Structure 1
Amino acid sequence: MPASRETIESAFNQRATTYDNNSWHIRYAERLVELAAPAAGMRILDAATGTGFAAIAAARAAGPTAHVLGVDISDGMLSRARQSMTSLGMTNVDLIKADAASLPNLDTGSFDLVLCSAGLLYLPIRTALREWRRLLKPGGLVAFSTMREGFPVAARLFREQASHYGLALTDPATPLGMPSRCRQELRDAGFIPAQVVTETVRFSRADLEYAWQAHTQGPHHDAIAALSPTQVATFRAEYTSTLADLLNTNEDHALTSEVIYALGRAGRQETDTQL
């Protein structure tokens, strides 16, 4: 079950200043856009845009005649995204603060493509996909990415360490963490699965310097908040040390993560009654 909107918004506001330092996020988003292959003139929604990696890649791929709308609930992330758009001179991208799973102010059938790079980890999956189905034109494409179940390894290690403090943390990648689950969620939301691609993404050692922040200010925020300051400090020291040991003994294992990119086509409008 995703954390509350308030928890997610606060967590990403805190992460906003360092989020761009994770280079793998950029490569992850760019690969999603590459698979979605946006065309010139498209109207594109980037749901849970964060600091705008996928929105920027889509705007570049689709060119100046396209229009990209990025939505996110974090003011901090949107502020960083606006800075990036300004520095790049992009004029065909707009950004708004909104819940990516509920966009009642956007017209039905108003987009050709909906992108969501890693954001479904923090959203109610079925609700979000059905809302994006509503927003797509018939034949429009949705494209999202997710970690495969059990990845990243650093996240698995975090959950194992958390058990020492009485925390039974579930893998947030599980609901979409297998190609078959991605296909089923697409079908259940009214899409025709078009392509499900499994690949790997490589982290850098610098990326893993932010692992503690990502876990404690991400899906497990509420659970960690239940610990005392002393427990948190000890947990952090133990986790950081154990992760460093893993990097030194099996770097490839620690830095390689399996990921899934899933794409689905929206059917004709008359199928909406079956959703």
Structure 2
Amino acid sequence: MTIESAFDQRAAAYSDDWHVRYAERLVELAGPSAGTRILDAATGTGLAATAAARAAGPTGHVLGVDISEGMLARARRSAAAPGIELVKADATALPHLPDDSFDLVLCSAGLLYMPVGPALREWRRLLKPGGLVGFSTMREGYPVAARLFRSHAARHGLALTDPATPLGTPSKCRQALEDAGYSPAGTVTETIRFSRSDLEHAWTAHTQGAHHDALTALSPEQTETFRTEYTGALTSLLDTDEDHVLDAEVLYAFGRA
């Protein structure tokens, strides 16, 4: 299964409340003003694009790109602001867009699923001099439900890496921005709260996200055993230490072109 088809499958249930808050907070911190030209890379269901378009107003413009047609279909139905254009494209390679096209590039959570260096360098090309890039990511080791998933995967012979590792600390965010030619403009560390209903989708999110290829090594029977063990352990942990499971540390990082 490709990452494109995985997100096509996830599209129907993707806009959980925490995703909305996560995207809107990134836009709030980036602070686009009226008339801003914005690229929302890996726009998904258009959550950050919608918030950015509201801030940029009728004189601004938001281009949302995503590799998943399923996600874009959701975005086209739900994007709640004018001035948004949605295009199916790989956010790490946008040769049809000229240099210096945007004042702001946003990427809410999407860098977990793409090569960091090539993505940031492509967005650097697209930014006007002095333009801002802003992205969000989980701090390394979060969310706890994902850490639990990886530990249970190991019991079935799957050595899964933490997809947050490349950008999972403020210093790693800063280094990635510098390596791609930006002047780092600050990293904000905050905590975001999941709901119990968000975690009802945890198994789907992990098996149709960054780890979708690794799970093909398991038989259907092994996969079902894994699912039963993991969901049972997650429920048990929620019952005994809810705050630990539902609170996740996140990073919002910014750089100037």
Pairwise TM-score range, normalised by the shorter structure = over 0.9
Matched-pair contact (CA < 8 Å) for 2:60–2:83? yes
1:270 maps to none
Counterpart-to-counterpart distance in 2, 1:151 and 1:18: 21
Report deviation, 1:62. Answer: 1.5
| 1:164 aligned to which of 144, 155, 163 | 155
| 3-state DSSP of counterpart to 1:112 | strand
| 1:250 aligned to which of 228, 238, 241 | 241
1:271 maps to none
Counterpart-to-counterpart distance in 2, 1:62 and 1:151: 32
Deviations for 1:151-185, whole angstroms, at most 9, x for unmatched residues? 00000000000011000111010000000000000
Q: How does 1:219-234 map to 2 (within 5 A)?
A: 219-234=210-225
Runs of 4+ in 1 over 3 A off after TM superposition: none
Report deviation, 1:195. Answer: 1.2
Percent of paired sites with the same residue: 72
1:29 maps to 23
Q: How does 1:48-63 map to 2 (within 5 A)?
A: 48-63=42-57
1:40 matches 2:34: yes
1:84 matches 2:78: yes
Instruction: Provide structure 2 residue ranges, at least 5 long, that are not aligned to the other structure.
Output: none
Scaled by the length of structure 1, the TM-score of the pair is: 0.93
2:167 maps to 176
Counterpart-to-counterpart distance in 1, 2:52 and 2:82: 13
Report deviation, 1:118. Answer: 0.3
2:133 maps to 142
Deviations for 1:206-228, whole angstroms, at most 9, x for unmatched residues? 00000000000001101111100
- Pairs aligned (count): 257
1:8 matches 2:3: yes
Counterpart-to-counterpart distance in 2, 1:164 and 1:130: 38
Counterpart-to-counterpart distance in 1, 2:200 and 2:240: 17
Counterpart-to-counterpart distance in 1, 2:225 and 2:183: 48
Report deviation, 1:91. Answer: 2.7
1:67 maps to 61
Q: Counterpart of 1:199 in structure 2: which amino acid?
A: E
| 3-state DSSP of counterpart to 2:18 | helix
| 2:178 aligned to which of 181, 187, 208 | 187
Counterpart-to-counterpart distance in 1, 2:163 and 2:47: 22
| 3-state DSSP of counterpart to 2:213 | helix
